[in-house]
Structure formats: structure tokens, C-alpha cells
Amino acid sequence: MNQSTHQHIKQLIADSGLLHFVKKSRVKNRRFHFKNETILITGAAGSIGSELARQLLNSQFSKLILIDIAESPLYNLMKAFEHENIPNIEFLLLNITDKASVEHLFETYKPTIVLHAAAYKHVPLMEAHPYEAVKTNIMATTFLADCAIKHGVKKFIFISTDKAVDPISVMGCSKRIAENYLLSLSKETSTKFLIARFGNIMGSNGSVLPLFIKQIESGLPLTLTDNTTSRYFISKTKACHLILELSRFETLAPAIFTFDMGNPITIKEVADCLLSFYPERQIPVIQVGMRPGEKLHEALVSINEELVPTQNDSILLVKQRNNTIKMADFNQLKAITPFVDPEKIKEIFKQNC
């Protein structure tokens, strides 16, 4: 690992905020002007949703609606914000798979911008529970998008993942199907759909960094799939800043965008760099093999896509080389129930992805 890569990883680790004895970068949040906008964030208590909310606290907005199904994390977010003295924030415990609740939400609050971060994200869990991926990652996303059109939302930003590129996992397939649905929506609608596709948030819930730190603190060896396994990484602060920048883009048709995340980083490099913060400990790093649904390497675009610069150097348009979008058979997906064998559901994913 060269010195510049080592420094880059160290800064990503520092900016995660998980090592309390390491100073984070001093980042001055930009004020975004959404003075007349009612902003809805789904998955608001998660890593991305909560950071989006934090960055918006210093900005202008008419109202901020924060929804999540996770009771304790949402309560913790509410307590964290209670001293900000901002009256126009609502915290709502809401399940996005509940159509009646979602419809009532749009009718009551009339959001003008939707930042859709809610999703199931853990690859091994979705391999074991593919029905949940259908219900939450696909069907709830399509219903939210339909509600956005029905209720005249101006912008709908969908948070996707690089695992949607040539997907082999249930999670990646579910995100790709959702991407394609949004891309298929008519450009004639007043609602503009933008997709933010990026890699791993360093230090997000369930990601490799907090797992490694827990293993170190427990005196366990660091476990990784393979020494050559690599991922694209981005800090939570940068990713959410770019999502908010993206929300200001004007597009005529639904489009996918990705962010400048530099070169892929191997998980072994992350482990080695993290251990440099604990020079007094002798901790081995062992390979445990690939888990179901995992790839050795991720990509930002497929063979049928290319990257095109935009007005922001850190945001790239993912341009389709042809205009064909593979649409899923939603009648087939809607017919899936909790009682369908998981392996059968995975076969349906393969047919529709």
C-alpha cells in the first residue's frame, strides 16, 4: 500500500467518527437553500438518512419529515436534535411497506422533495430473506415513486448502491430492479427522478469498519473474505453532501448518477490501516472466504454504461449506451409471498434483474 492510499484510508477511518481518540476532518457544512420545500427523508435513522438530516439542520427548508420503522434509532435521532431548537421537524415512526400509511403521509405533509434512503442493505441477510428485499427494496420504492408522481413531488432521489451493477446478490438485484423502474418512468411527469449510486460508507451500520473495531476491542482476530477483496469507499459526510448537491440538478428524464470515490480499496488495506491506530496490539488478520451473494470486486458501471462528467466534478452521470431498460415482471414479483421458498424467489430475481 502506497503512502497516499494509506493516508486516504486513515482519513476515511477518522471521519467515520468511530475512533473517538482520532480527530475528524473539520468540515464546514454548506447551507442549502430549500426555503419553500418540504423534505421527506425515508430511513432517516440510518447512517445516510441521519447524516442527510444533520446536514440540513443548518439549511433553509419549510419542513423536514424524518421517517423510519426502527423505533430506538429514530428516538435517538429525535433526542440528538431536540436542542437544535428547530420547530419545523417531524419524526414519524412509519413502515414504508404499509401503503395506507405512506398514502396518508403524502396527503398530510405534501412533500416536495423525497430523499429515499430506506432499504435493507446487508447482503447475507437478504440472501436468507429474499422476500423482505422484494417487499422493502422493490415494492415500497415503486409505491413511494408512484405517490410522488400522484402528489406532485418535484424531486425524488433514490439511494442505490454499486451492488446494483451486474448484480449477483438478492440485495443488488433488488436495487437494480428498483433503479430500472425509476428509469422507466415517463420524463413527461412533473416529478424528476434521480438515482444516486455509490459504494460503501466507511463506518456505516453493519459495515466492515465497526466490525473490525469490535473484533479488536474483543481481542479477536480481524476476519476478511479474501486479501484481494476490494470495495469503493466514501465518507458519510461527503456522500450526503453530494446527495444534497444532486438534489439541485435539473434533469429532463430519470437518470443515474455516481460519485467520485477514487480507486477501489482492498479490505486488507483497511484492516492494516486500522491496526496502525493500535500499535500496541498484535492482532492477526485471517481470511474466512466469500459469503453468499458477495463479489470479490465491485464496479460503478456495467458494460452497457459509461461515465459522463457533470457541472460538479465529484458527480458523474451514468449514461446508458443504449436506451433499452430491462423491466421486471411486477405481476410476478407482487405474487411472491412469505411462504415462497427463498431459492424460488432468487430464481425470480435472476429472471427479472
**Cα(63)–Cα(69) distance, rounded to whole angstroms?**
20
Angle (deg, nearest 10), helices 99-109 and 141-150: 30
Inside any domain, residue 281: no
DSSP states of 139-203: IIHHHHHHHHHHTT-SEEEEE--GGGSS--SHHHHHHHHHHHHHHHS-TTSSSEEEEEE--EETT
Is residue 99 one of the residues assigned to a domain?
yes
Active-site residue among 121, 135, 163, 175? 163
Return the pLDDT at 86.
86
Q: How far apart are CA 141 and CA 43, in angstroms?
A: 12
Residue 345 in domain? yes
**Position 134 in a domain:** yes
Q: Please, what is the angle between helix 71-81 and helix 47-56, to 10°? A: 20
Domain assignment of residue 202, yes or no: yes
Q: What is the dihedral of CA 247, 250, 253, 259, to 10 degrees?
A: -50
Per-residue pLDDT, 259:
97
Closest CA to 110 of 172, 36, 165, 58: 36
Asked if 326 and 179 count as a contact pair (C-beta separation under 8 A), the reply is no
Q: Are 196 and 246 in contact (CB under 8 A)?
A: yes
pLDDT score recorded for residue 253: 87
Domain of 99, CATH number, reads 3.40.50.720
pTM flag (> 0.85): yes
Domain membership flag for residue 223? no
Averages of pLDDT over each 10 residues, the chain, 353 residues:
87 89 73 92 97 93 97 97 89 98 97 98 95 97 97 97 96 97 89 96 88 93 94 95 94 92 95 92 91 93 94 95 86 95 95 91
Active site residue 24: no
Element (H, E) at 268: helix 267-275
Q: Is residue 272 situated within a structural domain? A: no
DSSP 44: T
Domain containing residue 335:
35-207+235-266+299-352
For position 29, what pLDDT does the model report?
Answer: 67
Domain count, the chain: 1
Please give the helix or strand (H or E) that residue 230 lies within, else none. strand 230-231
Identify whether the C-beta of residue 345 lies closer than 8 Å to the C-beta of residue 336.
yes
What value does the CA radius of gyration of the chain take, rounded to a whole number of Å?
20
Residue 259 lies in a domain: yes
In 3D space, the residue among 323, 346, 327, 345 whose CA is nearest the CA of residue 335 turns out to be 345
